[in-house]
Amino acid sequence: MKKFILVCLLFSAVSMYAQTNQKNGIALQGYDPVAYFENDQAILGKKEITAQHNDVVYQFSSESNKALFLKNPTQYEPQYGGYCAYGMSNGYKAPIQPEAFTIVDNKLYLNYSLEVKAMWLKEQAARIESANLTWEKLKKS
């Protein structure tokens, strides 16, 4: 747990101004945002099937998933710019493990790891409320 907190603090300091968790312009580490909803699993997208939204590129595992995304991108975007929901609930941005996800009220939440996801799930409603407040503050800074 100490390692997680240290990683989160370092990552937060480096990426404080990035609004979307991305690398080289690619969101979700290349995972298909629609697959979380349609397949209930993290599925790596294909480099040749992409769409841009909010200055980042999303990759998709199929053309049909891309089409769904393009109809309503905000439905499939991860919460908190794709940063760890648990970290956000504690006031900082943290990286994610794409397989550590939860869908709550048709919204995608990602976590740093499966272990962190388990902790997040224990107080999910309160953590979402706290993370929402933190995210609003970070978006304005």
Helix, strand or coil, per DSSP, at residue 3 = helix
CA distance 92 to 41: 26
* The model's pTM: 0.86
107 and 140 share one domain: yes
67 and 87 share one domain: no
13 and 59 share one domain: no
Tally of structural domains, the chain: 2
50 and 101 share one domain: no
CA distance 131 to 6: 19
Count CA atoms within 13 Å of residue 100 on its CB side.
21
Q: Six-digit token pair at 135?
A: 């995210």
Domain that holds residue 136: 1-18+78-141
pLDDT in tens, the chain (141 residues): 545 544 444 444 334 345 889 999 999 999 999 999 999 999 999 999 999 998 899 999 999 999 999 999 999 999 999 999 999 999 999 999 999 999 999 999 999 999 999 999 999 999 999 999 999 988 776
CA distance 65 to 38: 8
86 and 140 share one domain: yes
The b-or-e profile of 70-80 (16+ CB within 10 A means b, else e) is eeebeebbbbb
pLDDT at 140: 74
Number of residues that this document lists for the chain: 141
